[in-house]
Amino acid sequence: MTRVFSGIKPTGKVHLGNVFGALVRWTEEQHRAESIYCVVDLHALTVPQDPTELRQSTLRLAQILLAVGIDPTVSTLFVQGHVPEHSEGAWLMECTAAFGELRRMTQFKDKSDKSDFVSGGLFTYPALMAADILLYDTDEVPVGDDQRQHVELARDLAERFNSRYGQTFTVPRATFPVAGARVMDLQNPTAKMSKSEDDAPGTILFLDEPRTIEKKIKRAVTDTESEVRFDVATKPGVSNLLSILGAATGRTPEQAADGYTQYGPLKADTAAAVIECLAPMQARYAELAADPGETARILAEGAAKARAQAATTLARARDHIGLLPAL
Ligand code: AMP
Ligand code: TRP
């Protein structure tokens, strides 16, 4: 059976782009493939975090994944920091990766250019991500386009390790969402909706109330025509609304455009569809938030399952690379 692995960082607030572009897709994958999903708290440490906030956001993100529909009886859901094999695997990957290879990672270049303090971890981040993926004999890694280069690196490292030390790791490949799964900023529809800006009017948050969702969608940027048509190049704002309406109602953006001649009704229906789609997820989230013990139990079980697999792969890698076994 195909094995799928993906991870998401517990930083910033979860928004509609995360839900439609990643999380809903993960819930679908779990019925097709053996799926493993990870809240990657170690990856969050590449920039300084507030400890209390990090603990809370890690738990909250796990609750959101459950609320969106990750089923812990079908998938493995765990927190990266609960499985120490990831850190050890990362060292093996750091020693397999070339310095120049890591230096070419565009995400590192972008992020290090923008900050005064650049941690060593920010530089080796893709080696930890490679370990995440390779420890589970992963076949497929559903990610957004921005992670393409990191998954390529994981492939290269798996192949290099295998050719140096003998068959050890499965070589993974990235899979990407279908067109239309990319949610754009409501105020700036040529940029991706993102979680960096706090409470930005162009970002719909997973936990936004219906009133807020209505207001944000009503104020979404459109254009000076009044024709409703899916055409990303010339009508980015309207096309984004159609993508969102489609995603919320299980249709393509083109299908969602059917019957609309004005922006007002399109916005009203898009808001209603988003509210209706999020409502059961938000309700489930509220239940989970009221009983953190339940999530903690689910995560402990997930970590135990994950650890058994990761430890097997890591033992193989340790053996092949020549580390002396401890008695
Ligand atoms: P990030 O919020 O960048 O940490 O991404 C977490 C996951 O959500 C990744 O799989 C991204 O590809 C996906 N994602 C983030 N923003 C969007 C967006 N605006 N539209 C679609 N998918 C997104
Ligand atoms: N780097 C990914 C991101 O920023 C998160 C991530 C960490 C990940 N480890 C992973 C994604 C392993 C897929 C597989 O979105």
CATH 1.10.240.10, domain 210-287, yes or no: yes
210-287 and 3-180+292-321 share a CATH fold: no
CB distance 148 to ligand 1 below 6 Å: no
Which pLDDT tens digit goes with each residue over 190-209? 999 987 656 699 999 999 99
93 lines ligand 2 (CB under 6 A): no
Fold that domain 3-180+292-321 belongs to in CATH: Rossmann fold (3.40.50)
- Integer angstrom CA distances of residue 262 from 187, 199, 258: 19, 28, 11
Distance from residue 324's CA to the centre of ligand 1 (Å):
41
Number of CB atoms found within 10 A of residue 194's CB? 16
Question: Cα(21) to centroid of ligand 1, in Å?
Answer: 6
Q: Which residues are catalytic?
A: 111, 192, 195
Average pLDDT score, the chain: 96
Asked whether the beta carbons of 90 and 123 are under 8 A apart, the reply is no
81-123 pLDDT tens trace: 999 999 999 999 999 999 999 999 999 999 999 999 999 999 9
Contact 213, 271 (CB under 8 A): yes
Q: How many A from CA of 148 to the centre of ligand 1?
A: 12
> Containing H/E element for 270?
helix 263-290
Atom number in ligand 2 closest to CA 144: 15
Tell me the per-residue pLDDT of 232-279, one tens digit each, with 9 for 90 and over: 999 999 999 999 999 999 999 999 999 999 999 999 999 999 999 999
Tell me if 86 CB under 6 Å of ligand 2.
no
Percent of the chain, pLDDT > 70?
Answer: 98
Structural domain spans, the chain: 3-180+292-321, 210-287
Burial of 172 (0-12, 13-18, 19+ CB in 10 A): buried
For residue 21, give the ligand nearest its CA.
Answer: 1
**Amino acid symbol at 179:** A
Q: Are 252 and 245 in contact (CB under 8 A)?
A: no
Sign of CA dihedral 130, 132, 137, 138: negative
Structure-block tokens of residue 262: 């004005």
% of the chain surpassing 90 pLDDT: 94
- Of all protein residues, whose CA lies closest to atom 17 belonging to ligand 1? 17
pLDDT one-digit tens code per residue, 289-311: 999 999 999 999 999 999 999 99
Ligand nearest the Cα atom of residue 186: 1
Report the C-alpha gap between 316 and 169 in whole angstroms.
9
Question: Where does the pLDDT of residue 322 fall: very low under 50, low under 70, confident under 90, or very high at 90 and above?
Answer: very high
Task: Spell 235-259 as b/e; 16+ CB within 10 A means b.
Answer: bbbbbbbbbbbbbbbebebeebbee
Residues 128, 87: Cα–Cα separation, whole Å = 7
